[in-house]
Structure 1
Amino acid sequence: MEWMDWQITTAAQAESEKLFVASVGRQQGKTEIGVEIARRAANRGDRVLYLSAQLLCARTALRKLYSAQVDDRPESIKRYVQSPPWMSVELNHGGFVRFASYQSRIDLLGYDRIVADDFAVPVEWVLSRVHRETSVLLLPLGRHMPVGLDGLWFGIEHDADPTDETLWADAIPGLGTTMTLDGVRRMQQAMSADLFADEVLNRRAPSLAPV
């Protein structure tokens, strides 16, 4: 599948800025962005840490990256490790991506780049634990957008009506690609109003709404 416009924009900005935040709802290709940014960095020789909400999610990201590297540069792979609390893909020229969950309490020092997927902890938790030269990509849901940090966000405001379908196209950049309109309607029917607004329409917290 070709990348969507929002993914292309996010990748370009994430690679050019030391700290970047991109927020989008579920099933919009967020993890694919994080995995590709991590893979590109490792291919340049960087030491990368990829954080996920759960060990299962970290393992999924690991497999996505390994598959992409096999398709692109199979000869570059030195080792593929699956041994929790962290796992890794190591490349022959020294670059690697290490995968772990936030619960693993892994040390954040010693990395050139950190990708924080499903970011849901205070931003200081990351920034106070990394070297000031480390590049950081945060990929939170809207309700966990760090206060005071600019970034890319697709979603609805806290006081918006989640049943208003005219808002869905702007809130769901993958509508028509990763999701169909009928599919979104089925999700709306199956989920509580708050869960649908937070997870699918990426509603942000009231403290983050424009003044």
Structure 2
Amino acid sequence: MTDFEWMPWQSKEIDTATSQTHWLSTPRQNGKTEIAVEVAQCAARRGERVRHFSPTLHTAREAMRRTLSAMDRDGFSGITRTLRGADHLLIEVEGGGWIDFPSYRSGRRKTCDRMIFDDYRNQPAWRALLDIEGGGPALYCGLQLRPSADASLTYFGARPGDDLDAESTWRSVNPGVGVTLSPNQFGRLKAVMPDDMFHVEMLNLAEAA
């Protein structure tokens, strides 16, 4: 084990997502993928079969790399097999657990116990692919998520009417400020990004009702 520590809000999200279907929406660079990886790898180590969806094959490979790094960080030595095929990425562990890393566009279906949807944006074309057997919990991580009214949701983001140029807004909607991001980084990004992109990607601006 290392001296790695989660931020308190991240630990809470991991605990919540472990036991129920949960939606997590934050601006970029606030640790959504790290939380998704942690939930997935801990579930596999408990013997669960996990499918971890990513937008592209490239991001699926990155998710697999981060998962292996997280297992190494935790001192876990129970990996029994890894597959790194052109279109099939898989980690198998002792006890029958595994994590499959498809992209949303892969169309591959397989029975599983838990699903992770990273960088999910409520796109109907993606949902059409998710005809998967298994009634276990799912974790949806992304920008501007719109879950059903009774779903468990954690939302960090600006609201219509907020001052989108104010540092106080940047801090209030980004839980990783001071750890994964700094106000100076925000300023540099705002200078180079189109306003609409900055508002969505870095402030997770909620769409007006």
Q: Is the 8 A contact 1:145 1:204 kept in 2?
A: no
Whose strand fraction is larger, Structure 1's or Structure 2's?
1
What's the % identity of the aligned pairs?
33
1:48-68 deviations in whole A, cap 9, x for unaligned?
Answer: 000011111111110111122
The residue aligned with 2:102 is: 100
Alignment-mate amino acid for residue 97 of structure 2: G
Aligned residue for 1:119, secondary structure, equals coil
Q: Is the 8 A contact 1:155 1:171 kept in 2?
A: yes
RMSD: 2.1
Q: Is the 8 A contact 1:123 1:146 kept in 2?
A: no
Q: Is the 8 A contact 1:122 1:146 kept in 2?
A: no
Out of 182, 191, 201, which is 1:189 matched to? 191
How far does residue 5 in structure 1 lie from its aligned partner after superposition?
2.2
Matches within 5 A, 1:130-145: 130-131=132-133, 133-142=135-144, 144-145=145-146
How far does residue 140 in structure 1 lie from its aligned partner after superposition?
1.5
TM-score normalised per structure 1: 0.89
- Flag structure 2 segments of 5+ consecutive residues without an equivalent: none
TM-score normalised per structure 2: 0.89
Q: Is the 8 A contact 2:23 2:141 kept in 1?
A: yes
Alignment-mate amino acid for residue 154 of structure 1: F
Does residue 15 in structure 1 map to residue 18 in structure 2?
yes
Matches within 5 A, 1:1-211: 1-17=4-20, 19-107=21-109, 109-120=110-121, 121-122=123-124, 125=127, 129-131=131-133, 133-142=135-144, 144-148=145-149, 149-207=151-209
Aligned residue for 2:178, secondary structure, equals coil
Count of residue pairs the alignment pairs up: 204
- Flag structure 1 segments of 5+ consecutive residues without an equivalent: none
Instruction: Decide whether aligned partners of structure 1 residues 96 and 73 sit closer, same or farther in structure 2, where only a CA change above 3 A counts.
Output: farther
Alignment-mate amino acid for residue 138 of structure 1: Y
Aligned residue for 1:163, secondary structure, equals coil
Instruction: Decide whether aligned partners of structure 1 residues 140 and 154 sit closer, same or farther in structure 2, where only a CA change above 3 A counts.
Output: same
1:140-198 deviations in whole A, cap 9, x for unaligned?
Answer: 202x3335334000000134331122211120100000001111111111111111110
How far does residue 101 in structure 1 lie from its aligned partner after superposition?
0.8
Whose helix fraction is larger, Structure 1's or Structure 2's?
1
